[in-house]
Amino acid sequence: MSEANLQSPTGRAWQRFKSNRAGWCSAWFLAGFVLLAALWPALAPYPPDAISDAQFRPPSAAHWFGTDVHGRDLLTRVLYGARISLLVGGVGAGVSLVIGVLWGAVAGYVGGRLDGLMMRIVDVLYALPSIVFVIVLLTALNGILDRSQARGWSGETSRSVQLLGLFVGLGAISWLTMARIVRGEVLSLRTRPFVEASRALGAGHARILWLHILPNVVGIAIVYLALTVPAVVLYESFLSYLGLGIQPPQASLGSLIAEGASQINPIRIYWWVIVFPAATLALALLALNFLGDALRDALDPGSALDQSPAH
């Protein structure tokens, strides 16, 4: 037996993760990217919405990504946008994790009628186009905001509320698969000997759920969470592309892409206003997906692709 086999499951998963070069690089890349996006306000030579006469300047030493229709520095806007996109992706996926794990764990653990009912609800929500749900939620929120602005809320507060709405809305539409996965896992855990032993020893339901069921669900929940983050980032970009997400003058990668796409005309091609935001989004999603794949391979070896070459 090699030393690796003597480690705890977590230790082995960590070893597997570290040996995955693409996943490891993506993790470092994302860490650097988040750091850059977070620190950029302090480093930036231009404020994000400083309008100037230098409209549609191609990339240069002064403006690495060029400037947009209002002469704003595109690099600064892209980094600000990436910050919001990643924030919404992370928190939105977190919301979906909480709802999905709770819903799935309760349904799977209680079983019977309640399980049936809760899973039928998931079925119904699956068949409801998520865009309709999101639009209703966001317009309801905007309605509240309009009224509150009349009452003199500051712009800062209403921006935070809007962001909060996006978190909740995106979380609320992406928990369904998480709930299904967790429920299936809990269903099989419930009848395992160590759970029955705990029950025989007189442990209450809350204790069993908290101490025995949930720790065993963590692995698969993390795996699916890592796959949900890029999906939520993508959905937020889509919403902002539609003009429903982040409102100007703030920007997310999606609204920057929409802005770039609206500048396409046969006379003059401003390629940088669409290529840089799009490439940033693609790069971030690429790293998030690599990371998700690596985590899945590390934590869920049943579905892992074994590293040996083809036979």
* Residues of this chain, 63-102, that bind other proteins according to CB under 8 A: none
Instruction: Kindly state whether residue 123 participates in binding other proteins, applying the rule CB under 8 A.
Output: yes
From 32-40, 91-99, 211-219, 231-239, span contacting other proteins (CB under 8 A): 231-239
How many residues bind other proteins (CB under 8 A)? The answer is: 49
CB atoms within 10 A of CB 32: 11
Structure tokens at 285: 């999603």
Nearer to other proteins, 102 or 278 (CB): 278
Rounded Cα gap, residues 280 and 262, in angstroms: 18
Q: Give the residue, chosen from 129, 152, 193, 202, that forms a contact with other proteins under the rule CB under 8 A.
A: 129
C-alpha dist (Å) from residue 255 to 170, 171, 245, 271: 16, 20, 8, 16
CB 281 → other proteins: shortest distance, Å? 7
Nearer to other proteins, 108 or 277 (CB): 277
Instruction: Kindly state whether residue 305 participates in binding other proteins, applying the rule CB under 8 A.
Output: yes
The DSSP bridge partners found for residue 73 are 67
Phi, psi of 73 (to 5 degrees): -70, 120
Q: Give the residue, chosen from 260, 272, 291, 298, that forms a contact with other proteins under the rule CB under 8 A.
A: 260
CB 283 → other proteins: shortest distance, Å? 8
Rounded Cα gap, residues 48 and 209, in angstroms: 48
Instruction: Kindly state whether residue 237 participates in binding other proteins, applying the rule CB under 8 A.
Output: yes
Q: Give the residue, chosen from 17, 278, 300, 301, that forms a contact with other proteins under the rule CB under 8 A.
A: 278
CB atoms within 10 A of CB 99: 18
CB 178 → other proteins: shortest distance, Å? 16
Q: Give the residue, chosen from 78, 88, 285, 295, that forms a contact with other proteins under the rule CB under 8 A.
A: 285
From 47-55, 106-114, 119-127, 189-197, span contacting other proteins (CB under 8 A): 119-127
Confirm if 286 and 16 have CB atoms less than 8 A apart.
Answer: no
- What is the SS3 string spanning 56-103? CCCCCCCCCCCECCCCCEHHHHHHHHHHHHHHHHHHHHHHHHHHHHHH
C-alpha 274, offset from chain centre? 22
Nearer to other proteins, 108 or 292 (CB): 292
Structure tokens at 303: 């579905």
Phi, psi of 67 (to 5 degrees): -125, 165
Confirm if 297 and 16 have CB atoms less than 8 A apart.
Answer: yes
Instruction: Kindly state whether residue 275 participates in binding other proteins, applying the rule CB under 8 A.
Output: yes
Instruction: Kindly state whether residue 119 participates in binding other proteins, applying the rule CB under 8 A.
Output: no
CB 16 → other proteins: shortest distance, Å? 16
Rounded Cα gap, residues 162 and 76, in angstroms: 22
Contact residues: other proteins, CB under 8 A:
120, 123-124, 126-129, 131-133, 135-136, 139-140, 143-144, 230, 234, 237-238, 241-242, 254, 257-258, 260-261, 264-266, 269, 271, 274-275, 278, 281-283, 285-286, 289-290, 303, 305-310
